[in-house]
A and B are shown apart, each in its own frame.
Chain A
Amino acid sequence: GAGVSQSPRYKVAKRGQDVALRCDPISGHVSLFWYQQALGQGPEFLTYFQNEAQLDKSGLPSDRFFAERPEGSVSTLKIQRTQQEDSAVYLCASSPGWAPRDYGYTFGSGTRLTVV
């Protein structure tokens, strides 16, 4: 595709609900990142994939957060039993190479999650 596509664009969840956020990276991009951006803050790293392998999940805030990329393309970030502090914009970024610094990151427009 022309860019990194994320869906839904907006999601309102009741506290305790499970949500699934989708990221379609640019076709052929090897590396995929998830970041969480709270209101008025910079993005914070959540997790990183190279193809289907999740190489770093050190940023996931709790075991309620789970990410997968089973076929090395589309990725899903799942949040179980959502809480108010999970409210944020969730950004996905992809890169064509093994070393994103050499090829640049392309961010998606994000999913704005509001937990009420």
Chain B
Amino acid sequence: GENVEQHPSTLSVQEGDSAVIKCTYSDSASNYFPWYKQELGKRPQLIIDIRSNVGEKKDQRIAVTLNKTAKHFSLHITETQPEDSAVYFCAASRRGGSEKLVFGKGTKLTVNP
């Protein structure tokens, strides 16, 4: 089955700096890759997603890149703000069947003012 590895497990940056979180996946049939933000005690919320027919997607300060050959994808946050502090999860799924999401273990991002 699918396995998703996520790095780093913790990341601390200064306000205004960029943050990059990387994930690799094992199932070459995976073709949908969402990123979720989870604040302490709250529900995971989708922040951006990418499908395998594109290599990059941007939404304001957030971007995701996908390398299908290497089977890895990355989340980039620019001009970080303290409110970006949270745990970020990457996930992967393949079309068909239950379309379940397989999540990475998460990255705790801390943005220091």
In the assembled complex, 22 residue pairs joining A and B whose CB atoms fall closer than 8 Å, in A order, are: A31-B99, A40-B105, A40-B106, A42-B91, A42-B103, A42-B104, A43-B101, A43-B103, A44-B103, A45-B101, A48-B100, A55-B98, A56-B98, A59-B100, A100-B99, A101-B34, A101-B51, A101-B93, A105-B101, A107-B44, A107-B45, A108-B43
Chain B residues near A114: list those with CB within 8 A: none
B89 CB within 8 Å of chain A: yes
| B20 at the binding interface (Cβ < 8 Å) | no
Q: How many residues of B contact A (CB 8 A)?
A: 26
Chain A residues 50 to 104 lying within 8 A of chain B, measured CB to CB, are 55-56, 58-59, 91, 99-101, 104
Q: In the complex the two chains form, what is the Cα distance from A85 to B38 in whole Å?
A: 23
Complex interface: chain B residues within 8 A of A108 (CB): 43
Residues of B within 8 A of A91 (CB): 43-44
Contacting residue for A33 out of B32, B41, B51, B100, CB 8 A: B100
**Contact, CB under 8 Å: B89 / A42:** yes
Interface positions of B (Cβ within 8 A of A): 4, 6, 32, 34, 41-46, 49, 51, 89, 91, 93, 95, 97-106
CB distance from A57 to the nearest CB of B (A): 9
Chain A residues lying within 8 Å of B102, measured Cβ to Cβ, are 45
Q: How far is the CB of A71 from chain B (nearest CB, A)?
A: 20
Interface size on A, residues (CB 8 A): 25
Complex CA gap A62/B34 in Å reads: 28
A110 touches B (CB below 8 Å): yes
Q: Quick check: A42 and B95 within 8 Å, CB to CB?
A: no
Closest residue of chain B to A89, judged by CB? B41
A107-B106 contact in complex given A33-B100, A43-B89, A43-B101, C-beta closer than 8 Å? no
A52 to chain B, nearest CB (A): 15
